[in-house]
């Protein structure tokens, strides 16, 4: 018998197990609205032409080891992308940036650092959040997360008063995980005015903001708009931690390209933080992969490639916005009971439809349409050819499976 015989099976990941179910479904009618990856109007994965161009240019480059903190040019340009080229924090050299294994890796290194040098410390996440946040935080050596109120199911937007109340009640020094834009799973973002109120509470209550910005440029189609909340906090002069991902906005999901930024209120801690982040990375995986960071650095550093990329962001986010309108209109046209405007007012990859887990199961069994049990759909999974089918299935679900 194996020494490992008593290892219990891990609970299935709610998002990844859905993909497996979808793959094994033989129905030709099946629709995948689960995982958050962009699909073209033909329902196909997409390689950005600008990414392909650069990949061909660098194909013969040697793949020597990078330093623990990654490609320095990538780090410099990545910080500039999220903080803005006129950022006072960059001008004053108050920002440490390290390359990370996409957004998840940035979160993981960031929370491991917090656990080592500032722990134990309570981390608060929005009540509805990307399910992996609740894994990464305790796996990094911190206590399990606590929730702050977020979503308002009556409006499909943010319940800002409840959120602020919970942030006021959090013990000073707590870390507050915030989605910089395109909140996952709800698609509901605070307004600019809401963000100002959140900042006031964060400052008054001396909370530590940790921005997870996994969708910059992909949400609104504009890189600056999607960085607005992050920059508001950074430019207020407080310490801010920021995770970045190039999975969605450059379509480099599997290349694992991301960055972690510690933006400090003053320049003094910067050197120590850099050395400790490098030491943390050294012990976890030694150094990050080189290929995707090279691609991103080329695009970020070249004016022409950068403009091409901006065009791509407009196209991808535009298709998603169009699908929001198409789905809402189809639900109104087919007479599905309920209000559907939130599908259009929500932003980013996802929409929180309001379907119950029973209605989700009904759609999966009867129509082979797959979404997470919280009623979240990936807008990128919708196309001209399936949007009506999905809308009719949603109508059947809300009419047949009463809440």
Q: Which residues bind ligand PMP (CB under 6 A)?
A: 36, 102-104, 130, 179, 184, 212, 214, 245, 247, 253, 258
Cβ 255 to ligand PMP, closest distance in Å? 10
Nearer to ligand PMP, 380 or 393 (CB): 380
Of the candidates 349, 291, 281, 274, the one whose C-alpha atom is nearest the C-alpha of residue 106 is 281
Active site residue 130: yes
Contact between 329 and 320 under an 8 Å Cβ cutoff? The reply is no
Q: Give the integer Cα–Cα distance in Å for 254 and 32.
A: 19
Nearer to ligand PMP, 102 or 298 (CB): 102
Q: Which of 69, 166, 212, 226 is catalytic?
A: 212
Nearer to ligand PMP, 51 or 214 (CB): 214
Cβ 245 to ligand PMP, closest distance in Å? 3
Cβ 332 to ligand PMP, closest distance in Å? 29
Cβ 9 to ligand PMP, closest distance in Å? 24
Cβ 107 to ligand PMP, closest distance in Å? 7
Q: Give the integer Cα–Cα distance in Å for 229 and 355.
A: 29
If phi > 0 it is left, if psi is from -120 to 50 it is alpha, else beta; for residue 40 that is: beta
Contact between 252 and 292 under an 8 Å Cβ cutoff? The reply is yes
- Omega before 120 cis (within 30°)? yes
- H or E segment to which residue 257 belongs: strand 257-263
Nearer to ligand PMP, 217 or 258 (CB): 258
Nearer to ligand PMP, 47 or 93 (CB): 47
> Which position has the token pair 């109104």?
332
| DSSP H helical ranges for 13-169 | 16-24, 49-58, 72-83, 88-91, 102-118, 133-139, 160-169
Contact between 214 and 103 under an 8 Å Cβ cutoff? The reply is yes
Beta strands in 295-387 (DSSP E): 350-352, 369-370, 376-378
Cβ 54 to ligand PMP, closest distance in Å? 19
Cβ 104 to ligand PMP, closest distance in Å? 3
Identify the sign of the CA torsion 217, 219, 225, 228: negative
Nearer to ligand PMP, 289 or 338 (CB): 289
Nearer to ligand PMP, 246 or 367 (CB): 246
- Omega before 185 cis (within 30°)? yes
Q: Which of 166, 195, 248, 395 is catalytic?
A: 248
Q: Which of 69, 130, 309, 395 is catalytic?
A: 130
| Count of other CB atoms within 10 angstroms of residue 228 | 16
Beta strands in 137-217 (DSSP E): 146-148, 151-152, 157-158, 175-179, 208-213
Q: Which residues are catalytic?
A: 130, 212, 248
């Amino acid at each position: 018998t194996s020494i490992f015989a008593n290892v219990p099976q891990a609970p299935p990941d709610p998002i990844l197990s859905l993909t497996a179910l979808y793959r094994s479904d033989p129905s030709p009618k099946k629709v995948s609205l689960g995982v958050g990856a962009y699909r073209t109007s033909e329902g196909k994965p997409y390689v950005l032409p600008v990414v392909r161009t650069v990949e061909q240019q660098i194909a013969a480059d040697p793949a020597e080891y990078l330093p623990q903190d990654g490609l320095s040019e990538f780090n410099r340009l990545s910080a500039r992308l999220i903080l803005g080229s006129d950022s006072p924090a960059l001008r004053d050299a108050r920002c440490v940036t390290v390359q990370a294994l996409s957004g998840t890796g940035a979160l993981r290194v960031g929370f491991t650092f917090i656990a080592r040098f500032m722990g134990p410390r309570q981390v608060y996440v929005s009540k509805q959040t990307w399910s992996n946040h609740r894994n990464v935080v305790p796996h990094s050596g911190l206590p399990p997360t606590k929730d702050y109120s977020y979503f308002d199911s009556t409006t499909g937007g943010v319940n800002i008063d409840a959120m602020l109340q919970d942030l006021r009640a959090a013990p000073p020094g707590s870390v507050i995980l915030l989605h910089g834009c395109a909140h996952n799973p709800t698609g509901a973002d605070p307004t600019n005015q809401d963000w100002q109120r959140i900042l006031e509470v964060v400052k008054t209550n001396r909370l530590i903001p940790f921005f997870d910005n996994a969708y910059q440029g992909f949400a609104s189609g504009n890189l600056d708009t999607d960085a607005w909340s992050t920059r508001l906090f950074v430019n207020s002069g407080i310490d801010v931690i920021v995770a970045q991902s190039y999975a969605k906005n450059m379509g480099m999901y599997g290349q694992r390209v991301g960055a972690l930024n510690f933006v400090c209120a003053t320049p003094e801690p910067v050197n120590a933080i850099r050395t400790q982040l490098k030491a943390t990375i050294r012990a976890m995986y030694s150094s990050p992969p080189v290929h995707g960071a090279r691609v991103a650095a080329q695009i970020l550093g070249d004016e022409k490639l950068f403009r091409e990329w901006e065009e791509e962001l407009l196209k991808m986010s535009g298709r998603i916005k169009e699908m929001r309108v198409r789905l809402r209109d189809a639900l109104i046209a087919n007479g599905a009971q309920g209000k559907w405007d939130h599908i259009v007012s929500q932003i980013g990859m996802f929409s929180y439809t309001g379907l119950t887990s029973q209605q989700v199961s009904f759609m999966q069994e009867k129509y082979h349409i797959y979404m997470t049990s919280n009623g979240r759909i990936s807008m990128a999974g919708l196309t001209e050819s399936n949007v009506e089918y999905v809308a009719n299935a949603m109508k059947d679900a809300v009419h047949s499976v009463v809440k």
